[in-house]
Amino acid sequence: MTAQSSQQPPALKAATEACETCPTFNAGHLTKLGINLTNVDYVIALAGNPNTGKSTVFNALTGLRQHTGNWPGKTVTRAEGGFAYGDKRFKIVDLPGTYSLLSTSVDEEVARDFILFGRPDVTVIVVDATRLERNLNLVLQVLEITDRAVLCVNLIDEARRHQITVDDRILAKELGIPVVLTAARQREGIDLLLKNIHDVATGAFVCRPHRVQTISREVAHALDAITARVRGLFPDLPNARWVALRLLEGDQRMIDAVQSGELGTVVRNHTPTTPRPAEVPV
Ligand SMILES: Nc1nc2c(ncn2[C@@H]2O[C@H](COP(=O)(O)OP(=O)(O)O)[C@@H](O)[C@H]2O)c(=O)[nH]1
Ligand SMILES: [Mg+2]
């Protein structure tokens, strides 16, 4: 969706670029997921393995502007809060801490469905700087679903203590998303994290996420065929290949979403005149 060819006609190129900055969150689905969108410019999801300091990052970003509840119909708790940066208002939703998004547990399902169906403007993935390799699994899974993400490499103070150096620039280049080193407990790096969230949300920074290609020729062949069918059904779906992969796995939630047409409403809304929610405080 962010790929732009230099051969594109100027008008088309301008339209594509304009869409990088248009609001993308899926109001219908987010409301269904119990999110109040009044007076919100952008919706941010916070994902990460358990114990990476996700709640600490959440608190550093939101301060006291937060409340907790449950996900609709689930016993999984949810914290959400608000913050402002520049002249924009952000709502941030703390997703359950998970090691994966393969939806084998309620927590994983909640996190995955929020990113997939809610289409947050930015997903912030918090990882533990001292366990980066293990944490990257979730990062790559998130990048399969969305191309709007910021990596927050937290506990950088602990990493330093263990003589672990994280090269944020190389990581950002290889992943294709902004990378910020933080020690959230001390608020170190939080301002830079805010700026990067803002830049991805507004389209000032366009992510080019890394996608893993490690499938056999046979699977690739089947995948191409299913991807083409999915694209035919839902031409505006941002990641038909990822959906096709889930269908190939027999993922019941995805099969239902295709059969009911729910996926069709997940597409990005390109209409600049989309009615925005009424203006009341977060
Ligand atoms: N040293 C250090 N500890 C942190 C940092 N961020 C969080 N913690 C601590 O790590 C533990 C887990 O943090 P928490 O925010 O609950 O993690 P969550 O499970 O991912 O929500 C807590 O004891 C935090 O105080 C950090 O940047 N540096
Ligand atoms: Mg937590």
Token representation of residue 186: 């001390």
* Cα 54 to ligand 1 centre (Å): 7
Q: Is the CB of 154 under 6 A from ligand 1?
A: yes
Q: Is the CB of 55 under 6 A from ligand 1?
A: yes
Rounded to the nearest 10 degrees, the angle between the axes of helix 54-62 and helix 190-202 is 80
* Cα 56 to ligand 1 centre (Å): 6
- Is residue 114 predicted with pLDDT exceeding 50? yes
- List, in sequence order, every residue forming a beta bridge with 47; answer none if it has no partner: 125
**Burial bucket for residue 33 (CB in 10 Å: 0-12, 13-18, 19+):** middle
Per-residue pLDDT, averaged over 34-48, amounts to: 87
- Is residue 201 predicted with pLDDT exceeding 90? yes
33-37, 59-63, 70-74, 188-192: least confidently modelled range: 33-37
- Is residue 282 predicted with pLDDT exceeding 70? no
* Cα 264 to ligand 1 centre (Å): 39
- DSSP track, 176-240: TS-EEE-BGGGTBTHHHHHHHHHHHHHTSS-----------HHHHHHHHHHHHHHHHH-TT-TTH
- Scored b (16 or more CB within 10 A) or e, 114-131 reads bbbbbbbbbbbbbbbbbb
C-beta of residue 162 within 8 angstroms of C-beta of residue 175:
no
Token representation of residue 180: 């910020």
| Predicted confidence band of residue 160 (pLDDT cuts 50, 70, 90) | very high
Question: To the nearest whole percent, how much of the chain has pLDDT over 90?
Answer: 50
Question: To the nearest whole percent, how much of the chain has pLDDT over 70?
Answer: 83
- Is residue 139 predicted with pLDDT exceeding 50? yes
Token representation of residue 102: 């393969």
| Predicted confidence band of residue 122 (pLDDT cuts 50, 70, 90) | very high
| Predicted confidence band of residue 8 (pLDDT cuts 50, 70, 90) | very low
Q: Is the CB of 135 under 6 A from ligand 1?
A: no
- Is residue 281 predicted with pLDDT exceeding 50? no
* Cα 180 to ligand 1 centre (Å): 16
C-beta of residue 166 within 8 angstroms of C-beta of residue 129:
yes
Token representation of residue 175: 């992943």
Question: CA torsion 225→13→26→237, rounded to 10°?
Answer: -10
